[in-house]
Amino acid sequence: MKLFFSFFILLTFSTSLLFSSDKRCKRPDFISSLSVENSLKTLKTLQDVRRNYAALKHLCVDVINFKEGKYSWKMLLVTHPKVPKGPFWFLPHDNENEAFDAGVYATRKYGGGFLAVLSDGGRYFQGQDPNRNFGDTSAVAGHCANQSHPAPKYGKTIFSIINFYKRRGLPYLALHNNTNAGGISILKSSASVRSFPAHRDIADGKGLRDEDSLVYIAGKSKTPNTSKLNRLLGEGLNTRYELVNGQTNDCSLSNYVILNRNTERYYNIETQHGDLKTQKEMIDILLKSL
């Protein structure tokens, strides 16, 4: 914890040259080439921006555009103007409002930022699930039921942005919302996903004890890393462990990290739609524990 905030203070000073004093944020060339000039006022047509307008005025906001095949992807890149390198989150689903609000909260408090897919407020982008589009080749994409076409540019572009803003040593991070007692629940397990409740009294409702409040981790081993699991459970975070291999690959971000980024340092924070308070609390707990 102390080390994390020491880096926070150091980065505030060391990155001051990257951004102008008038809050007009400079991007590296490869990101600038993907950006569309939009003032924050013009972005108020987006519900997420309108809802967080006051907070976003203090952050760096750009629309990222790139085309691959039939898809013209649009994403919102939000970073901290003084501490651009820090925890960095990927938000693939545009209908998960609390995840976006939590991303704004995390960016303002801890630095770094997030990349959010813009899908006109829907879960899918022109029929494609953005979190099932991380198959680089035809062979891999063809194996994933929810990916229409191989997307090497998609993965390369997203991870180039993530890796630029993610401070070295921090894990890959994602934010999601889920439905009440739906398919994603700490009370459910499957052949490839094991659930580990942190509380005996899991109940319907909001808070850390809700079955929908959980953290996803992933790896290639049949069982999760014991120290990582116990740390999360000890912090009161319900934890689901996803076993990832070439046969179970679903072309999601978590699977791509495990299979292509040569690391198992991945965390996805899930809460029920509407439970922003708990998602913020889980962000604080997780980041303080890293």
Q: What is the tens place of the pLDDT at every residue in 62-108?
A: 999 999 999 999 999 999 999 999 999 999 999 999 999 999 999 99
Report, as an integer, the average pLDDT of 17-37. Answer: 73
In this prediction, residues 208-217 reach a mean pLDDT of: 98
Burial class of residue 169 (count of CB atoms within 10 Å of its CB; 0-12, 13-18, 19+): exposed
SS3 content of the chain, % helix, strand, coil (to 5): 35, 25, 40
77, 213: one domain: no
Same domain for 138 and 71: yes
Indicate if 165 and 180 belong to the same structural domain.
Answer: no
Do 124 and 134 share a domain, yes or no?
Answer: yes
Local confidence band at 37 (pLDDT 50, 70, 90 cut-offs): confident
- Of 127, 150, 170, which residue sits at a domain end? 170
Q: How far is CA 177 from CA 29, 148, 271, in A?
A: 33, 24, 5
- Residue 1 clears pLDDT 60, i.e. is over it: no
- Tell me the pLDDT of the chain averaged across its residues: 92
> What distances in angstroms separate CA 179 from CA 73, 182, 278, one per listed residue?
26, 5, 14
- Quote the pLDDT of residue 21: 33
Residues paired with 62 in a beta bridge: 77
Would you say residue 6 has pLDDT above 80?
A: no
Q: What would the mean pLDDT of 195-224 be, rounded to a whole number?
A: 95
Question: Which phi and psi angles does 267 have, rounded to 5°?
Answer: -140, 135
Element (H, E) at 155: helix 152-165
- Domain identity same for 147 and 214: no
**What does the pLDDT read at residue 24?**
64
CA distance 253 to 116: 13
Are 276 and 217 members of one domain? yes
Residue that terminates a domain, selected from 110, 143, 170? 170
Q: Are residues 194 and 158 in the same domain?
A: no
Instruction: Say if CB 261 and CB 211 are below 8 A apart.
Output: no
162-208 per-position pLDDT tens digit: 999 999 999 999 999 999 999 999 999 999 999 999 999 998 888 99
- Domain range for 182 is 172-290
Please write the tens of the pLDDT for every residue from 16-25: 333 333 346 9
166 and 241 both lie in a single domain: no
178 lies in the same domain as 157: no
Cβ-contact 189, 109 below 8 angstroms: no
- Asked if residue 146 and residue 10 are part of one domain, the reply reads yes
* Total tally of structural domains belonging to the chain: 2
32 and 160 together in one domain: yes
Same domain, 205 and 223: yes
What H or E segment, with its residue span, contains residue 288?
helix 276-289
Residue 283 forms beta bridges with which residues?
none
Among candidate residues 118, 151, 170, the one where a domain is terminated: 170
